[in-house]
Chains A and B, each alone.
Chain A
Amino acid sequence: MAVSELVHPEGAIRSPARAVPDLRKWLAALVVAVLAVLPMLSGSFLLYSLSLCFANAIAVLSVSVLVRYGGEVSIGHSFFVALGAYTVAVMEKHLGLGLWISLPVALLMGFAAGLLFAVPSRRMSGIYLAVASMALALSLPELLIHMERWTGGFEGLYISRDLLPGVAKAGQRYYFALAALILVCLAMAHFRGSRQGMALLLARAHPRAAEAFGITRSWARISVFALSATLASLSGAVVAFASSTVSPNSFTLWSGIFYLVGSVVSLQGTSLLAALVGGGIITLVPQYLAGAGDYVPILYGSALLIVTLLANSGSGLRRLLPGKGA
């Protein structure tokens, strides 16, 4: 089977014929089955890496949602991811509350932050919006260090409470992250056929036509941003739980750029397989490239450039180029 089908399960976007999705469904089911039994067969380091991979896959997917449904690009999603992660960590540290409560709060925080960013920036697009999102990400480490009393400053915070007391820790983290990823992918698959999802796709392709059918640009932008930020925040909550720790280094501008790299590499897919490819690349590659040290960002930068140049024919990245009016 062609690699492009693995990485681009929504190739259907161009030709939404019915036959191929069946195959994809089976493939996705197979992957889920393998991932579900994996903990019985493998060591804890791999499980740990995979948990992070699932969490990062959600972050990548949140960027893909923005690109696919909004036609916009963010390089500052590390801000929303950090918001979710720190919500979980701070609520445990200062309020003694576990994930059952902090997770929904993290989602709400992501949603609210998405709205707060989207409303004033709703008339920006392309490179301007990307730069505005970058400002968010750049300000974040400073903010975290400044609020040391709450966030633990440079050191960050630990997360130690279990989701299910008495169950092995590595297993909980792994299955929680996997379940979150699968649920997000199912929700996004359903979203594609919803009234709102279809309205956003029309608004992205033809904002004026969408307006003529009652779908305003502001609604479209604010909705897609709030959705994307909520997903990013969820990913942060999963990262925090899966890695048991949060610190400012995990949420730099580079993280934001990596999420975008992952999204580009997964061709902005919102399916499980696409998200896994994106999340896998940004999680596992650095671990294997650890020896390359300072060159990692350069490698990523080059990868981003190459993939963007090769594959941007059908995506919102084209809008980064100035001069394309709607």
Chain B
Amino acid sequence: MAIIHAEAAPETRGALVASGINLSFGGIDVLKGVDLDLRPGLVTGLIGPNGAGKTSLFNCLTGLYHPNRGRIALGDTALDVLSPARRAGLGMVRSFQHMALSPDLTLLENVMTGLTLSRRSGWGSAFLPMPRGRAETQDARRRAMAALDELGIAGAADLAPPELPPGTQRLGEIARALVGGPKVLLLDEPAAGLNAVETRDLTRALRRVMHPALIMVVVEHDMDLIMQLCDQIYVLNFGKVIACGSPEAVQADPEVLRVYLGAGDE
């Protein structure tokens, strides 16, 4: 019913809606009836203690995990049976909690892999320097460079990820996610391993890339980043949404204080 609701109100067109998501591994329930309503133009925070199920929820949204029950739709498109690659084709991209850049590619080339789906060049131009393939590569390179530049790390373009500080690698992952102009951007702990300065730069960069057609979801333990960046927050505990609403409302929620903020975060 959430979906019908979403279609009725114009501002929710193109929303990413999950309803009643249940996920279990070997009899252990990881997600228990999670509902999400993520709208274009809003940054949503997803917080909760370690093991609450945040990454698992991301994995359900992107198709790496298959929920035992529940439905996921992006706009009018039901995602449930689509593979991760198909969902990527619909404009859903993500970054990973554990760094997932190829060490064999430069940072710039890693970002270029974010354009794989929108590139058309065939196998001929993979082996032979053909004009069309060249032009396409040039274009991809330019767009990847622009994405790096937007995040302020263009200087690291030609270095390999293992040579870069974690902050730059994180931003590189975000650049790779952004370069194709996604509809949905899911960030799993983008500030993990970053120092205070890098986290501040990241927060600013994310603000800058936000636009009215983008759905951005951030999983993060860094409360400053969440509070500064997010328009709405979902709090997850033991696989259940225990609160959702504006940062202020969530911060004041007694249950959240007890379960999450009171438990002390790292």
Contacts and interface: CB of A to CB of B under 8 A. Distances in A.
B105 A198 contact: yes
A196 B126 contact: yes
A213 B93 contact: yes
A202 B83 contact: no
A324 interface: no
Nearest to B129: A190
Interface string A201-216: 1101110111111111
B112 interface: yes
A213 B113 contact: yes
Nearest to A193: B137
Interface stretch (A8-16, A75-83, A135-143, A160-168): A8-16
B104 A205 contact: yes
A214 B123 contact: no
B34 interface: no
A197 interface: yes
Interface in A21-54: none
Interface string B156-192: 0011101100000000000010000000000000000
A187 interface: yes
Contacts of B110: 202
Contact of A201 (B105, B115, B137): B105
Given A14-B162, A204-B102, A197 B113 contact: no
Given A13-B104, A213-B176, A194 B112 contact: no
Among A14, A194, A196, the one with the most B-chain Cβ atoms within 10 Å of its Cβ is A194
A208 B112 contact: no
B77 interface: no
B48 to A, nearest CB: 22
A12 to B, nearest CB: 9
B45 to A, nearest CB: 21
Nearest to A216: B85
Interface in A226-272: none
A210 B163 CA distance: 21
Contacts of A209: 96, 100-101
Interface in B43-88: 62, 64, 83-85, 88
A211 B105 contact: no
A195 B116 contact: yes
B103 A205 contact: yes
Given A202-B110, A214-B89, A195 B121 contact: yes
A81 B105 CA distance: 30
A17 interface: yes
Contacts of A197: 126
Nearest to B163: A15
Contacts of B113: 198-199, 202, 210, 213, 215
A197 B113 CA distance: 10
A291 B44 CA distance: 73
Contacts of A100: none
A295 interface: no
Contacts of B133: 194
Given A202-B102, A202-B113, A214 B88 contact: yes
A13 B109 CA distance: 12
Nearest to A208: B64
Contact of B126 (A194, A205, A211, A216): A194
A18 interface: yes
Nearest to A184: B127
Contacts of B158: 16-18
15 contacts: A14-B160, A16-B159, A18-B158, A194-B125, A195-B116, A195-B137, A198-B105, A198-B113, A199-B116, A201-B102, A204-B102, A205-B102, A205-B103, A209-B101, A212-B88
Given A16-B160, A196-B123, A211-B83, 14 more contacts: A13-B104, A15-B159, A16-B159, A190-B128, A193-B137, A195-B136, A198-B113, A201-B105, A208-B84, A208-B100, A209-B96, A214-B89, A214-B116, A215-B116
Interface of B: 62, 64, 83-85, 88-89, 93-94, 96, 100-106, 109-110, 112-117, 119, 121, 123, 125-129, 133, 136-137, 140, 158-160, 162-163, 176
